Amino acid sequence: MSNKEIVLKAMNELFHEKDSRAIERYWHESYVQHNPSMINGHEGLRNLLPMLDSNFKWQPGIIVEENNIVITHSLVHGWGPVQVIVVDIFRIEDGKIAEHWDVVQEETPALKSASGNVMTSFNVLTNEK
């Protein structure tokens, strides 16, 4: 599996299928978390699952893989009261997610943005303007 495939499978199994066993399969035992609201290690991921909205959905758009780093630009539903745009940065070690950073921003609809552009990157993937 490529590092990109590891991230996609891990995120899908943990957050969409709600399979907590995915933590041991895809996250390194010494997992380092840089999100200031979460703790390091598997426990932080386990603690997160019950707090997520039942309709939680992670929709990646652009995904970049460079050596052991995978970066995703995503639309996330259910992380909080409004949809958010998230850039996740994953470092892969020994076939598992070993480290994670993220940047989270509330989604602003295109009609309310100064540029009139959407914040998601799905249009880039489908060659739409």
For 67-110, how does the pLDDT look when each residue is reduced to its tens digit (9 = 90+)?
Answer: 999 999 999 998 888 999 999 999 999 999 999 999 999 999 89
User: Which pLDDT belongs to residue 16?
Assistant: 93
**Which of 15, 8, 14 shows the shortest CA–CA distance to 92?**
8
For 29-71, how does the pLDDT look when each residue is reduced to its tens digit (9 = 90+)?
Answer: 999 999 999 999 999 999 988 888 888 999 999 999 999 999 9
Q: Does position 127 have pLDDT exceeding 60, yes or no?
A: no
Q: Is 94 helix (H, G, I), strand (E, B) or coil?
A: coil
How far is residue 67 from each of residues 86, 93, 122, measured CA to CA in Å?
Answer: 21, 10, 24
User: Which pLDDT belongs to residue 73?
Assistant: 97
